[in-house]
Homo-oligomer: A and B are copies of this chain.
């Protein structure tokens, strides 16, 4: 299949995970207060599966899914890294390639300062 050029995505979803629902909410609130994201959704606990010192482990985590603009990504990433207590937190951005015009306009207005 054609591998698209999502390059020009103006809008992003950004995903991180942490190990308590309180920390997840604090990460979400901090980013929204700073207008680095328009909104976020915190999942129910997920089971994370990963390798640790040679064996595959599992742990409960909570996902935080932010909606923001590409223009705000670098500052959002810096904010999450600063606020997060993991040494190497998951922070990944996926492109939004289409959406309802008024919703995307709201994302822009929520992430614009002043």
Contacts and interface: CB of A to CB of B under 8 A. Distances in A.
Given A56-B33, A103-B91, A97 B6 contact: yes
Interface of A is mostly: mixed
Given A3-B8, A5-B6, A33-B56, A41 B63 contact: yes
Contacts of A90: 39, 67, 100, 103
Give the contact-size bracket for chain A: 35 or more
Q: How many chain copies does the complex carry? A: 3
A109 B28 CA distance: 29
Interface of A: 1-13, 17, 21, 24-25, 28-29, 32-33, 38-51, 56, 58, 61, 63, 67, 70, 73, 77, 80-81, 88-104, 106, 110
